[in-house]
Amino acid sequence: MDKLFNTDIRFLKGVGEKRALLFARLNVRTIGDLLHFYPRTYLDRTKISSLDQTQLYENATVIAEISSPIKEAKVKGGLLIYKFTVTDHVTDMQITLFNQKFLAAKLKVGQSYIFTGKIQGTYFRREMTSPEIEPLNEDNENGRIIPVYPLTSGLSRNIVASCVKSALSMLPEQMEEPLESEILEKLSLIGLKKSLLYIHNPKTFEQLNEARKYLVIEEFIKFRLGLLKLKTRNRQKTELSISNTDISPFLSNLPFKLTNAQNRVISECLADMTKDIPMSRLVQGDVGSGKTAVSAALIYAASSNGLQSALMAPTEILAQQHYKAMLSLLPDNIKIGLITGSMTKSQKLKIANAASNKEFDLLIGTHTLIEEYIEFDKLGLVITDEQHRFGVRQRSLLSSKGRNPHTLVMSATPIPRTLGLIIYGDLDISIIDELPPGRKKISTFLCDESYRQRLNGYIKDQCTQGRQVYIVCPLVEQNDKTELKAVDSYFENLKDNFPEISCGFVHGRLKPSEKEKIMQSFAKGETKILLATTVIEVGIDVPNATLMVIENAERFGLSQLHQLRGRVGRGEHKSYCILMSDNKSEKTLERLRIMTQTNDGFVISQKDLELRGPGDFFGQRQHGLPLLKIGSIYSDMELLKLANKIADKLYNENRITPALSKAVNSFFNDIGVIVFN
């Protein structure tokens, strides 16, 4: 089975070199990846609605005939829009497609098709935008449950389904089962082979539920076992425990007083650092809660005990910000160095030599810190900033520069404690649940398109007063060229509306150096309006930025919106966040209104989890841990608790079979970590 699961997908019937590259965009590189590439949803062709029975803002599947010519229109930026009317001879509905020239060319007036999508518009004029469209009776799919997979440009649903079918046909008669028969019997689980067959091709919803139950439990068990093993690995004894915990000289030198929460977290960390087991702790704190001051206190303590510290930041600009902050917080006798990717090779080697000769007490940098040539004389404390940019692997690589050093991870993404204990199974958790006095509340407003003129006037006012503005537009997918053109068009409109104001535009396809240059220009105040398509919630500290505008706010999770909002309100001036959304769904608007009611990140994250679930909450690999492909930590909480109990028992009783250890390794291989040797 190992051989089959590890076979490169290009050797699968119907794939080849070109399609293998397309599948790689979806992180599908082997046949095993494809078998674990689960449908994101299912089309229930067992239930076809008539148009007049459909509910607004709900998904529906209808059979309708195209009753009008298909009209094509090209808008600014090259976007193609197709509009036409369909009917079931009782009710009409308008269909809108974006940049789907190939599909539009295949559709014929007078023919009936199956349309699946969200019903929008009004009860008098229903609409569907970019629905799934299938010819009637294609592959006899009527009356069946149809899997719908995540797609990328060049891979259609039918292509993916066909490739999955080929992979399923290659499964051996007798498959290696990761879970013991005792567990299968006790929990009435159907096993791996049946689960893979049923999840991709369910005949009934009962089969689908059986498959999902097994796959969720098996995934949670692998997740838990991996974290237990990593935690044990982190708990090897260290010779770097500290004896001097007196940081009073550091505290008396600060230009401000620490909050009770900061003092509590520092005490927890110092207590860890006195033990012969290295600290392995996550410090969570809302935006502006003072995590940097906490880390500075621990760097001071490490230095007082003759130990060096390393601080790794996700971007060059953040590394530079940390460098400036540490220079102002730490006394002059603590020598601080900075190393980044943009430096010349000779500059990097000079800094590396200084670190190995203990000329630096603290070295700050980006991923460059984990390069092989960087060595320390006595590295005792490793700090990574913003957990979701660094995974388990990067942390362990940096820690390997020392002999079991203490590890501190700082994250500004508030997560409810119960969930944090599960997500960060390899770390202890401290929470800074108090903001320093004087932090100004950011006023947040939810607006629709009717406020556009007033908003433009307000943007102009802010810039005229010498302030700066962020505008964030979402991308549906990283590969969505259509959407990028639309944002290009938005940038052109922005320059037309504000010709006298300097505007910048940063997106995911820019080289890191180009992105850094644009962000630096904004940080220096040269650019007044920054349009971003990439998520900038982990971003630059610009005290002069007072307005955050978020377009299509409904596409973001509440926690993402909160992080984006945290980019403003960092200076002395009153700050504002405008959430733009034309969405008419009351459920969506209710979710967005939460942002206007509270600035508390922990309250927001709890609501976000309740409303969206962790799949959306954490996003793709956000926290550097393996991506859960099918389980939902929130909605599958009972199965999670059950799986954790089983995993703990298996681990403590040393009952991990070779098949299960291989499955755990395969699961964690996604992030480049080997759990069981």
Last residue of one domain, picked from the residues 547, 563, 598: 598
Q: Are residues 470 and 494 in the same domain?
A: yes
pLDDT over 50 at 479, yes or no: no
Using pLDDT thresholds of 50, 70 and 90, give the confidence band for residue 619.
very low
Pick the more confident residue, 458 or 481.
458
Q: What is the DSSP letter of 440?
A: P
Give the per-residue pLDDT at 388. 45
Last residue of one domain, picked from the residues 130, 148, 166: 148
pLDDT in tens, 216-225: 999 999 988 9
CA gap 278, 242 in Å, rounded: 10
pLDDT over 60 at 140, yes or no: no
Q: Which CATH number covers residue 5? A: 1.10.150
Portion of the chain with pLDDT greater than 90, in percent: 50
Q: What number is the average pLDDT over the span 484-507?
A: 83
Last residue of one domain, picked from the residues 107, 139, 174: 174
Q: Are 7 and 33 in contact (CB under 8 A)?
A: no
Give the per-residue pLDDT at 419. 65
Structure tokens at 574: 């009153």
Structure tokens at 191: 């096993």
Find residue 132's DSSP bridge partners: 116
Give the per-residue pLDDT at 141. 56
Q: Are 406 and 272 in contact (CB under 8 A)?
A: yes
Q: Is 677 contained in some domain? A: no
Q: Is 592 contained in some domain? A: yes
Q: Which CATH number covers residue 554? A: 3.40.50.300
Q: Are residues 453 and 575 in the same domain?
A: yes
Q: Are residues 574 and 458 in the same domain?
A: yes
Give the per-residue pLDDT at 280. 87
Most confident of 242-251, 365-374, 567-576, 580-589: 242-251
Alpha helices in 133-287 (DSSP H): 157-169, 181-187, 192-200, 205-234, 248-253, 260-273
Q: What number is the average pLDDT over the span 448-464?
A: 94
Q: What number is the average pLDDT over the span 135-160?
A: 78
Tally of structural domains, the chain: 3
pLDDT in tens, 526-564: 999 999 876 564 557 889 999 999 999 988 888 889 888
Give the per-residue pLDDT at 342. 83
Using pLDDT thresholds of 50, 70 and 90, give the confidence band for residue 525.
very high
Pick the more confident residue, 12 or 623.
12
Pick the more confident residue, 96 or 492.
96
Please count the CA atoms within 13 angstroms of the CA of 539 that sit on its side-chain side: 26
Q: What number is the average pLDDT over the span 164-193?
A: 95
Least confident residue range of 160-164, 404-408, 539-543, 556-560: 539-543
Q: Are 348 and 339 in contact (CB under 8 A)?
A: yes
Q: Are residues 31 and 68 in the same domain?
A: no
pLDDT over 70 at 429, yes or no: yes
Residue that has been written with the tokens 């006595």 in this structure: 378
Q: Are residues 516 and 587 in the same domain?
A: yes
CA gap 607, 605 in Å, rounded: 5
Helix axes 291-304, 316-329, angle to 10 degrees: 60
Alpha helices in 120-204 (DSSP H): 157-169, 181-187, 192-200
Q: Are residues 36 and 73 in the same domain?
A: no
Of 105, 106, 99, 94, residue with least CA distance to 62: 94
At 669, phi and psi to the nearest 5? -60, -25
The Cα angle at residue 343 between residues 340 and 346, in degrees rounded to 5: 120
Q: What is the DSSP letter of 553?
A: G
Using pLDDT thresholds of 50, 70 and 90, give the confidence band for residue 632.
confident
pTM comes to 0.65
pLDDT over 80 at 478, yes or no: no
Q: Is 627 contained in some domain? A: no
Q: Is 640 contained in some domain? A: no
Structure tokens at 467: 């302030």
Using pLDDT thresholds of 50, 70 and 90, give the confidence band for residue 393.
low
Q: What number is the average pLDDT over the span 234-246?
A: 85
pLDDT in tens, 259-275: 999 999 999 999 999 99
Q: Is 578 contained in some domain? A: yes
Cβ atoms within 10 Å, residue 135: 14
Using pLDDT thresholds of 50, 70 and 90, give the confidence band for residue 405.
confident
Structure tokens at 46: 């067992």
pLDDT in tens, 290-347: 899 999 999 999 999 999 999 998 888 888 889 999 999 999 999 999 998 888 889 9
CA gap 589, 583 in Å, rounded: 7
pLDDT over 70 at 421, yes or no: no
- CA torsion through residues 629, 634, 636, 640, sign: positive
Which class for 442: exposed (0-12), middle (13-18), buried (19 or more C-beta within 10 A)?
Answer: buried
Q: Are 165 and 196 in contact (CB under 8 A)?
A: no
Q: Is 337 contained in some domain? A: no
Task: Calculate the alpha carbon distances from 16 to 5, 13, 33, 159, 671 in Å.
Answer: 17, 8, 16, 12, 25
pLDDT in tens, 54-83: 999 888 889 999 999 999 998 776 788 999
pLDDT over 90 at 247, yes or no: yes
Q: Are residues 121 and 25 in the same domain?
A: no
Q: How far apart are the first and last CA of the chain?
A: 19
Residue that has been written with the tokens 């199974």 in this structure: 425
Q: Are residues 458 and 546 in the same domain?
A: yes
Q: Is 164 contained in some domain? A: yes
Portion of the chain with pLDDT greater than 70, in percent: 88
Give the per-residue pLDDT at 538. 54
Give the per-residue pLDDT at 635. 77
3-state class (DSSP) for residue 345 = helix
For the beta sheet containing 362-365, the strands, ordered from the edge strand earlier in sequence to the opposite edge, are 336-339, 362-365, 308-312, 379-385, 406-411, 280-285, 428-432
Q: Are residues 453 and 519 in the same domain?
A: yes
Cβ atoms within 10 Å, residue 671: 16
Q: Are 36 and 164 in contact (CB under 8 A)?
A: no
Q: Which CATH number covers residue 135? A: 2.40.50.140
Q: Are residues 35 and 53 in the same domain?
A: no
Give the per-residue pLDDT at 420. 66
Q: Is 380 contained in some domain? A: no
CA gap 393, 668 in Å, rounded: 10
CA gap 568, 543 in Å, rounded: 7
Residue numbers of the domain that contains 95: 43-148
Q: Are residues 26 and 155 in the same domain?
A: yes
pLDDT over 60 at 605, yes or no: yes
Q: Are residues 506 and 540 in the same domain?
A: yes
